[in-house]
């Protein structure tokens, strides 16, 4: 869905067009002119950074970590074994492999390779990136494998048999790359939501129709069973299955904004709108109940469920009367609590929580007519996640980590408390390092927490180089996690690390997010700047030693910070960012994020965005902290145009900057380990030049 710049300007009054923006041509991801510009920028940046005598050592150290054979091979449970996707020096694109639990318990498990992505890519002359699989329950041996060429979000899909380790002869194939996916109705029938041609993609370029595709027929002939609207973010149909793989309902949805959905259930071949809040959704099936989660207060049948609650309805009642089934509270958050991941095993519901940014897990069962929870015994004061669980048994694995503590994998079969199964090796020496938590006061008086990881021997005299990062959007939390390459390449060399928890993120639940979106998005930027000011005020660092880094929404965060307060920072790494917010809805999947930022086509909302859009805030007469912008040509989500245009504007004004664009990888960074190590080394060389070498 490509619109010419002139036509786009005519359809978007008030949005900059070619007459106002001389760099719109860089929005063509793979035009010869744009790629020639990228090649020249890459040559200039690599010459400056790879020539630094520290580069080779930094890259070697990063590559040793990425290729480490003793890192934890995380797995998922399937009936025929434990599955893992693994990349290393010998398998840069990766292999899908399986083992047994008995073998997995050993230091060197024996792996059976199911699919070799390197061999497949070589045979087909493609830069295939494995994007996961969707398998038919309960056996999970018949799968649709998703592959992208170069790391784009858009994929092709092919049927694969894990028993024969072959793509199925005459199997289902979706060979037109597209957003969207499939669900298995049965072994001969798929539920498909993809790009079916004109009139099937939203303005955000996501599918909004669903079809039922029968084996042996053409996808073009598959009957459509649901259609949303073109101005939805996305729409489709999913299957509500229990742990035995039995379909209990078909649920359709329309994403009317990024954060809001309408849900429908199929009753007698017709779609019935569910009486749910727009920020509520199905969560799973447990003990004969359908679980629902809400991100807003929900008053129904004389009771109010606060935002972030888990609610249950009897499944049989729901099937008989979808909107009339009685609602029962399963869990409600306490102060500064929020739920994170969840898993339904064969025996219980497990929910991981954040309690003042500290991880906990609760186990839920329905007993004697009520929901009962018990805490799972895991280490205190750590970041805890549910790694994988079994649908059939009570087997479950957890990850436990911290900034200085390597990730540890815990396992239980449900009969005993979780015990250590595997531990990641230490990639840096934490001796003498320390972690502190502080609070900054934002512009409106709100207290903003942040973590400071101090290197050995840190003196509070304003000279410590600090790398500060954060995210602050889409209700996504940034939590303490093992620093790995950052510890080796930065902390061991005397740098400190700061993680800020701004409003807009998900560290304290839905309200922490919703208080900093759309007309209030500036609060996120204010929070981040407040943390930077606090670091300087406390004497931890000074502006010439303070660098900032962030990707995607975090790239926008860094862009707003260095354009609003160029005096506060000595370096800024802007990764795969949003940057031109007055045209973001026309670039990549930008239209899907209007629910987070607002719509620049609407004058009132454009005014919110104009106040901070980094691209428009780069102006003559201001000294910026030599930002390093980088992107991926294959990024079809935020799109490389944002970083390109930011660099071009800086160049036009004679401002120093660096720009690098990886030709593969996409938004999610689907590159091999050598390229990952190169990207890490480039960034840390830049930081050292800007912050450690600063006098």
CB atoms within 10 A of CB 478: 20
Active site residue 667: yes
Choose among 361, 399, 397, 402: nearest CA to 381.
402
CB atoms within 10 A of CB 55: 18
What sign does the dihedral 662-664-667-668 (CA atoms) show?
negative
- The number of CA neighbours under 13 Å toward the Cβ of 680 is 27
Cβ–Cβ under 8 Å, residues 676 and 664:
no
Q: How far is 683 from 80, CA to CA, in rounded Å? A: 42
3-state helix, strand, coil in the chain (%, to 5): 25, 35, 40
Torsion of the alpha carbons at 311, 314, 318 and 323, rounded to the nearest 10: -50
238-254 burial code (b ≥16 CB/10 A, e <16):
bbbbbbeeeebbbbbbb
The one catalytic residue in 309, 552, 592, 613 is 552
Active site residue 552: yes
Beta bridge partners of 441: 447
Let me know the angle formed at the C-alpha of 145 by 140 and 151, rounded to the nearest 5 degrees.
140
Q: How far is 483 from 493, CA to CA, in rounded Å? A: 14
Q: How far is 61 from 240, CA to CA, in rounded Å? A: 46
- Please provide the size of the chain in residues: 695
Q: How far is 393 from 389, CA to CA, in rounded Å? A: 8
Q: How far is 104 from 421, CA to CA, in rounded Å? A: 9
Q: How far is 245 from 82, CA to CA, in rounded Å? A: 19
381-417 burial code (b ≥16 CB/10 A, e <16):
ebbbbbbbbbbeebbbbbbbbbbbbbbbbbbbeeeee
**DSSP letters along 479-501, please?**
-----THHHHHTGGGT-EEEEE-
Let me know the angle formed at the C-alpha of 556 by 338 and 32, rounded to the nearest 5 degrees.
135
Choose among 306, 242, 312: nearest CA to 279.
306
Cβ–Cβ under 8 Å, residues 303 and 325:
no
Residue with tokens 């959905």: 261
Extract the tokens encoding 18.
Answer: 């070619």
Extract the tokens encoding 561.
Answer: 């910070």
Between strands 224-227 and 155-161, the pairing is unpaired
Let me know the angle formed at the C-alpha of 678 by 673 and 684, rounded to the nearest 5 degrees.
125
DSSP-assigned letter for residue 201: B
Q: How far is 510 from 517, CA to CA, in rounded Å? A: 11
The one catalytic residue in 133, 352, 667, 668 is 667
**DSSP letters along 112-178, please?**
EEEEEHHHHHHHHT--EEEEEEEE-TTT--EEEEEEEESS-S-EEEEEEETTTTEEPTT--EEEEEE
Q: Which residues are catalytic?
A: 552, 667
């Amino acid at each position: 869905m490509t619109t010419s710049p002139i036509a786009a300007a005519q359809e978007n009054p008030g949005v900059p067009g070619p007459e106002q923006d001389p760099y719109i041509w860089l929005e063509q991801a793979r035009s010869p002119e744009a790629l020639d510009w990228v090649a020249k920028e890459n040559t200039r940046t690599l010459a400056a950074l790879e020539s630094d005598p520290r580069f080779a050592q930094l890259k070697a150290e990063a590559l040793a970590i990425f290729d480490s054979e003793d890192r934890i091979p995380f797995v998922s449970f399937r009936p025929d074994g434990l599955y893992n996707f693994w990349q290393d020096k010998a398998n840069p694109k990766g292999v899908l492999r399986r083992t047994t639990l008995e073998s997995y318990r050993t230091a060197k498990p024996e792996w059976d390779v199911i699919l070799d992505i390197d061999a497949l890519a070589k045979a087909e002359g493609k830069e295939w990136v494995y994007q996961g699989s969707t398998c038919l329950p309960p056996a999970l041996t018949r799968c649709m494998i998703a592959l992208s060429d170069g790391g784009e979000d858009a994929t092709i899909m092919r049927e694969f048999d894990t028993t024969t380790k072959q793509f199925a002869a005459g199997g289902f194939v979706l060979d037109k790359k597209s957003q969207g996916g499939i669900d298995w109705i049965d072994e001969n029938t798929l539920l498909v939501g993809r790009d079916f041609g004109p009139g099937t993609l939203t303005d955000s370029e996501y599918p909004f129709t669903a079809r039922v595709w029968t084996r042996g027929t053409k996808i073009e002939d598959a009957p459509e069973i649901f259609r949303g609207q073109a101005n939805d973010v996305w729409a489709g149909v999913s299957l509500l299955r229990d742990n035995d793989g039995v379909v209990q309902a078909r649920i359709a949805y329309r994403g009317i904004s990024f954060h809001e959905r309408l849900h429908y259930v199929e009753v007698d071949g017709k779609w019935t709108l569910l009486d749910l809040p727009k920020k509520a959704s199905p969560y799973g099936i447990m003990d004969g109940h359908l679980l629902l989660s809400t991100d807003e207060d929900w008053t129904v049948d004389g009771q109010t469920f606060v935002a972030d609650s888990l609610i249950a309805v009897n499944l049989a009642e729901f099937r008989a009367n979808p909107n009339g089934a009685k609602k029962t509270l399963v869990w409600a958050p306490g102060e500064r609590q929020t739920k994170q991941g969840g898993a339904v095993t064969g025996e219980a519901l497990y929910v991981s929580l954040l309690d003042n940014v500290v991880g906990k897990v609760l186990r839920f069962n329905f007993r004697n007519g009520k929901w009962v929870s018990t805490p799972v015994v895991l280490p205190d004061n750590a970041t805890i996640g549910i790694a994988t669980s079994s649908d059939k048994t009570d087997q479950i694995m957890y990850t436990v980590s911290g900034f200085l503590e390597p990730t540890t994998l815990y396992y239980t079969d449900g009969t005993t408390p979780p015990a250590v199964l595997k531990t990641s090796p230490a990639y840096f020496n934490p001796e003498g390092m320390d972690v502190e938590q502080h609070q900054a006061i934002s512009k409106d008086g709100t207290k903003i927490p942040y973590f400071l990881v101090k290197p050995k021997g840190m003196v509070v005299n304003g000279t410590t180089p600090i790398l500060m990062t954060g995210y602050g959007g889409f209700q996504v939390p940034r939590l303490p996690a093992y620093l790995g390459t950052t510890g080796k390449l930065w902390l061991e060399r005397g740098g400190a690390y700061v993680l800020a928890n701004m409003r807009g993120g998900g560290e304290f639940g839905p309200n922490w997010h919703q208080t900093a979106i759309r007309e209030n998005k500036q609060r996120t930027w204010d929070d981040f700047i407040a943390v930077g000011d606090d670091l300087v005020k406390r004497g931890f660092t000074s502006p010439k030693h303070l660098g900032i880094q962030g990707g995607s929404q975090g790239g926008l965060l860094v862009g707003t910070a260095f354009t609003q307060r160029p005096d506060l920072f000595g370096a800024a790494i802007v990764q795969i960012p949003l940057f031109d917010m007055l045209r973001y809805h026309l670039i990549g999947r930008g239209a899907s994020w209007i629910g987070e930022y607002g719509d620049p086509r609407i004058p009132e909302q454009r005014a919110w965005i104009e106040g901070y859009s980094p691209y428009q805030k780069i102006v003559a007469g201001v000294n910026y902290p030599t930002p390093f912008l980088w992107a991926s040509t294959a990024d079809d989500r935020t799109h490389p145009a944002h970083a390109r245009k930011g660099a071009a504007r800086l160049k036009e004004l004679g401002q120093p900057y660096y720009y690098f664009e990886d030709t593969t990888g996409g938004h999610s960074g689907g590159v091999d380990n050598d390229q990952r190590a190169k990207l890490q080394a480039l960034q840390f060389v830049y930081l050292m030049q800007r912050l450690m070498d600063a006098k």
